[in-house]
A and B are shown apart, each in its own frame.
Chain A
Amino acid sequence: DQQVKQNSPSLSVQEGRISILNCDYTNSMFDYFLWYKKYPAEGPTFLISISSIKDKNEDGRFTVFLNKSAKHLSLHIVPSQPGDSAVYFCAASGGAGGTSYGKLTFGQGTILTVHP
Chain B
Amino acid sequence: DGGITQSPKYLFRKEGQNVTLSCEQNLNHDAMYWYRQDPGQGLRLIYYSQIVNDFQKGDIAEGYSVSREKKESFPLTVTSAQKNPTAFYLCASKPIFSRSMDGYTFGSGTRLTVV
Chain A residues at the B interface, C-beta cutoff of 8 Å: 4, 6, 9, 32, 34, 41-46, 49, 89, 91, 93, 99-109
Contact = CB atoms under 8 A, between A and B. Distances in A.
Contact of B48 (A46, A49, A101, A108): A101
Interface of B: 4, 6, 9, 31, 33, 35, 40-45, 48, 50, 58, 88, 90, 92, 94, 96-97, 99-102, 104, 106-109, 111
Contacts, number: 74
A100 B42 contact: no
B101 A102 contact: yes
B90 A102 contact: no
Contact of A109 (B42, B48, B88, B92): B42
B40 A9 contact: yes
Given A41-B109, A43-B107, A106 B44 contact: yes
